[in-house]
Chain A
Amino acid sequence: MTSPDETVFRTRGLTKVYRSGAQEVHALRGVDFAARKGEFVIILGPSGSGKSTFLNIVGGLDMASGGEAWFQEHQLTVMNERELTQYRRDHVGFVFQFYNLVPSLTARENVALVTEIARRPMSPDDALALVGLADRRDNFPAQLSGGEQQRVAIARAIAKNPEVLLCDEPTGALDSATGIKVLEALSEVNRTVGATTLVITHNVAIREIGDRVVRFADGRIVEETVNAAKKRPAEVSW
C-alpha cells in the first residue's frame, strides 16, 4: 500500500445524489479511493457508472453529498466555492475530451492563459516542447489538427506544474493514431512533471499504459488492478 505522506488523493465513503424533482439518482454510492504521488491511474467504466462524477468531485468541480475527499492535507468536501476555485487554480490540471482551447488565442497564448495566474508555472514554451509542439506555438486552434489541439490542452494543463492531472476521455474525439500521440504526451508529462494522473476512458485498450486500473460500475469501484508491467502508449492500439 502507499505510505500516507505519499498519498495525493484519498476518498472515503464518497457519495453523490442528484435530485431531479421527486427522483433521486445515486451517481456515487460510497467510493473509497487513494492515489499516490506520480501515479498514473486509468479509470474505466460504462456510461453512468459514476466515473465522471468522481473525477468532478476530486477535481473540485462538484460537491459531494456525503463522505470525504482529501487532496493532500486539504479536505475538498468542506471547501466553499472560492476555495475550490483556488484549489483548481493552484493544484489541478484538466484535459477535456473536446480540448476546450480558446480559439482567439494561439497555442502559446492558450498555455500562457494559465501560467499567468499560476503560482509556480513553467514557461509556456517549455510546456509546448514537452508535448512536442514547440514549432506550432504561434498557430491558432483552427490551424491545428485535433490531436495537436489536445496536446496543446495537455501543455496548458501541466504548465502550472500541477500536483494532479485529470483527463476526461482525452482520446474520445480522436482516431487511434492521433490518440496514441496524445497518450504518449500524457505519459511523458506524467514522468517528467510527476503529477498524479487520472485518466477516464471508455477505451479498454488504454488500460495497459497505467500503473493501476480502477473500474467503476453503478456508482462504486468494482475492480482495481495493478499493472505489473505497464506498456508504452505506442504498444497499444484500438
Chain B
Amino acid sequence: MVIAPLRRKVLRDLVRLWPQALAIALVLAAGVATLILGNGAYASLYETRARYYEDYRFADVFADVTRAPRALMAEVEEIDGVLAAEARIVKLGLLDMPGMVEPGAIMLVSLPEGDEGALNRLHLRQGRLPDPQSPHEAVVSEGFAVAHRLTPGATFAVVMNGQRRELRVTGIALSPEFIYALGPGEMMPDPSRFGIAWLPRPSLEAAYDLKGAFSNLVLKLAPGVDQDRVIETLDRLTAPYGGAGATARKDQISHAFLDAELKQMSAMVKVLPPIFLLVAAMLVNMTLSRLVTLEREQIGLLKAIGYSGRAIAQHYVEFVLAIAVVGIGIGFAAGAWLGSELAQMYARFFSFPFLVFARDPQIYGLAALITAGAAVAGALFAVRSVLALPPAVAMTPPAPPDYRSRMGRALRMVALRQTSVMTVRHLIRWPLRTASGILGVAMAVAILVASLWSFGSIDRMIDLTFFRAERQDVMVAFAGAEPERALFAARQMPGVMVAEPFRSVAARISHRNQSRKLAITGRPAVTDLSRVLSPQERPMTMPEAGLILSEALAEALDVRPGDLVTVEFLEGRRRTVTLPVSGLSLGYVGLGAAMEISALNWVMGEGALISGVNLRIDPLQDTEFFTAAKATPETSFVIVLGRTVQRFRDTIAENIIVMVTVYVALASIIAVGVIYNFARIALSEQGRELASLRVLGFTRGEVSGILFGELLVIVLLAQPLGWAIGYLIGLGMVAAFSSDLYRVPFVIGREVLGTASLVVCLAAVVSALAVRNRINNLDMVEVLKTRE
C-alpha cells in the first residue's frame, strides 16, 4: 500500500523526463540490437550451412586426377573411415553466350547414375534432372541461370574439349559444393562468367573420352576419422593417375570462402556488438547515476517522511528498470528484425536453398542482463550515496562546491572571460564527471571509427591488388602447360599490346609440421603487368632461385627469409625439392608463392612451359581479341581484370556496406543519446546558475554559450581519444578477420576519422539545439526565490 504513490511517481517522472528517458532507452536499444542482430544473423547462417551440408550430403574430401579407371574406386572405398565415395567427371568448359564478348567458363560435373546415396546432392529449384541417355541435357546452377535468364527449355553453347555443343536446360539447381561459385583464378564470384552445369555421366564420358574412367572423386568420411590419414592414402592411390593431391573440406574453395566470410562476420559479431553494448551500458550507468543524483532533495524528503532506504532504492530501481525494459524491448525487436533481414540478404547472396532462423535465448538473456544490470547499478550507486546522508541534510541542497586553489592562479595568468573561467573551473572541479563525459563521447567516436574503418582498407586492398600488382587487362589460362611458343602465338592475337607468360603449378609447401597446398606461380624476373609487391609496396624482382612467399603464407608456415621449405610438386614429375625462401611479398587474397619461371621449370625438371599469359589489350580491339581467344583451343578460361574489380566492389557493397550502415546508424543513435543526456544533465546541474546570469543581463546566446562551451570542450577532447580507441578496436577486428584466404590491410583513412567526428559533432549540434530551447525558457523569476 505504501508503495502505490511511489509507483505513481515513477510513471510521472517518466512522463516528465520522457525525452531523456527515451534517449537513454534508445542508447540501450542500440547496444542490445547490435548484439542480437549480429549474433542472430551469424547463428542463422551458420546453422543454415550446417543443415544444408548435412541434408545434401556435402562431401568431406575432394580429389582431382587426370584420368583414373573406375576400378580404382573399389580400393578407395576400402580406405578405413570412408563412408561413401563417388567418382565423377569434372571438367572446365568454355562458355559461348550470345552477347557476351568476354568468354566465360562453365564447370561441367557428371551426375551420379543412381541418386541413391549420392554426395553433394542437388537442390532442384525448377525443372527436372536430365535424361541419363541424352547428350544434350543439363541442369545449371541458379546464379548462372539468373545471370543469363535461362529457364528450363532454354539452350546455350559450351565448348567442351575443343568441341562446341548446344545444351538444353532441363532444370535449375543449387549445390552445397558451389555455394560460393568461384571461377578458376577468380577472386570474386561472377555468375555471368562462371556457372556450373550438371550433365549425365555418359554425356561427359563421351566428350572427354573418359569411358570407364573418372577425373574427380569425392568422399564422405565417418565422423571422427583422421582426415589427414585418409588423404594420405588417397593421394598414394591417385598419384599414378595424375592426382594433384586431395583437398579436405576446409580447403574446398566454396567452403573455404564461405568460411572466411562467416569468420569475418563472426569477427564483426564478436568484437563490435559487445563494445556497443558495453558503451551503451556504461553511458546508461553514468547518465542514470547523474539523473538520480539530481533527485537528492526528493530522496531526503521521502526518507524524512518515513520511507525506508529499501523502499526508496526500489523506487529508483523501478524508475531505471522501466527505462531499461523499454530499451531492451526496442533492442530485441530491432535486433531480431535487422538480424533476420541481414541473414536473408546473406542467404540470397550465398544461394542457400533455405534459411534456418537461429535465435539464441542466451544472447537475449545476456543482453538484457548486462543492460538492466548497468542501469540498476547506476541508480543504486547514486541512491546509496544520498541515502547515507541524514534526511535533513539530503533535503537541503548540497553546499556550494568548493573551488579553492584549483587552477585559480594559473587561470588568472591567461586572459579569459569570466564565463570561460566558469567553464574551465567547472570541468576541472569535477574531473570524474568530465572524464566520463569525454569517455562517453570518445566511445561514440570509437564505435563509429570501428564501424567505418573497413572502407579505407577495402580501397587499399583494391588499389594494391588491382592497380599496383595485377595490372594486366586479361589473363588467359591454358587447359594444360603449353610450350613457350604459345606466348608468341598470344602476342600475335589481335589487340595484344604486351604479353607476359606465367606458370602455375600445384604444390604442397611444408616447413616443420606446417604445410599448405597451393599453386606456385612462375613469372619472369621482371614484369610490368602482373607484379609481386614487397611489403613496402614496391615491385619485386624474382630471384634466380628460391621462393617469394606472401606474408600470410610465411606466417602460416612459420618461416622467415633464408629458411628452407620442402616443396612437393603435385604435377609433372612430382618432384620433391628443398628451396630457400628468398623474400616475402604483400598479398591480401589467398596464399601466394612465386618463383622465377625458368627456375620453376628447372626444379620441376621440365622444359620451358607456360600455363597462361597476362595481356594488355588495346581497348579498341577487345572484341576481336575475345573472339580469337574463344577460338583458340588451348584457352581454358579468361579472366578480365576490370570485371573482377567491379565484382569485388559490388560484392563488398552487398555485404559489408549493409552491415556497416546498420552499425553506423546504431552508433549515431548512441552518440546522440550520450550527448543529449550530457547536455540535459549539465543543464539541470547548472540551470540555476545560468538563470541567475540571465537576470544579470546576459543574453540567451551568452548563457547558452557557457553550457555549449563545456559541451564543445568535451566533444573536442573526446575526438583524439575516440580515434585512438577506435583504432585499437579496428586492430582487434583485423586480427579476427584474417584467414588463409583474406588478409585485410589495416587502413584508417582520415576520411574515416573525419566521418566519425562529423557524425558525433552533428549529434552534438542536434543535442545542443534540443537543449537550447530549454535554456531560452529558463525561469528567471524562480531563481530569485529559491535556494540552490
Contact = CB atoms under 8 A, between A and B. Distances in A.
Nearest to A89: B697
Contact of B787 (A61, A89, A98, A101): A98
Interface residue tally on B, bucketed by range = 35 or more
Interface in B758-788: 780-781, 783-788
B418 interface: yes
Interface stretch (A36-44, A127-135, A140-148, A201-209): A140-148
B401 interface: yes
Interface of B: 399-404, 408, 417-419, 421-422, 425-426, 429, 688-689, 692-700, 702, 780-781, 783-788
Given A103-B403, A105-B422, A94 B695 contact: yes
A19 interface: no
Given A94-B696, A98-B786, A112 B418 contact: yes
Interface in A126-181: 138-143, 156, 160, 168, 173
B756 to A, nearest CB: 32
A88 B399 contact: no
A109 B786 CA distance: 23
Interface residues of A, number: 41
A61 B426 contact: no
Nearest to A98: B787
B688 A61 contact: no
Nearest to B779: A61
Given A52-B784, A89-B697, A105 B421 contact: yes
A112 B702 CA distance: 15
Given A85-B697, A116-B418, A117-B698, A100 B403 contact: no
A142 B400 contact: yes
The residue in A59, A102, A143, A160 that gathers the most chain B C-beta atoms within 10 A of its C-beta is A102
A100 B408 CA distance: 20
B419 A97 contact: no
Given A52-B785, A100-B688, A142 B402 contact: yes
A168 B781 CA distance: 11
A113 B401 contact: no
A56 interface: yes
Contacts of B399: 142
A43 B7 CA distance: 45
Contact of B408 (A59, A112, A138, A168): A138
A105 B700 contact: no
A103 B785 contact: no
13 contacts: A52-B781, A52-B784, A61-B780, A85-B698, A88-B695, A89-B696, A94-B696, A103-B401, A103-B403, A104-B429, A140-B403, A142-B401, A168-B784
A10 B783 CA distance: 25
Contacts of A35: none
B451 to A, nearest CB: 38
B404 A143 contact: yes
A114 B429 contact: no
A218 interface: no
Contacts of A49: none
A74 B788 CA distance: 33
B689 A102 contact: yes
Contacts of A156: 696
A104 B403 contact: yes
Contacts of A117: 697-698, 702
A88 B419 CA distance: 18
A173 to B, nearest CB: 7
Nearest to A162: B697
Nearest to A90: B697
A168 B419 contact: no
Contacts of A88: 695-697
Contact of A113 (B408, B419, B700, B783): B419
Contacts of A116: 417-418
A153 to B, nearest CB: 10
Contacts of B702: 117
A139 B780 CA distance: 27
A96 interface: yes
A104 B402 contact: no
Nearest to B429: A104
Nearest to B402: A142
Q: Considering the complex of A and B, which 6 residue pairs feature the smallest CB-CB distances, nearest first?
A: A89-B697, A104-B425, A100-B692, A142-B402, A113-B418, A88-B697
A102 to B, nearest CB: 6
A89 B698 contact: yes
A28 interface: no
A62 interface: yes
Contacts of A140: 402-404
A160 B697 CA distance: 11
B700 A85 contact: yes
A89 B701 CA distance: 14
A61 B781 contact: yes
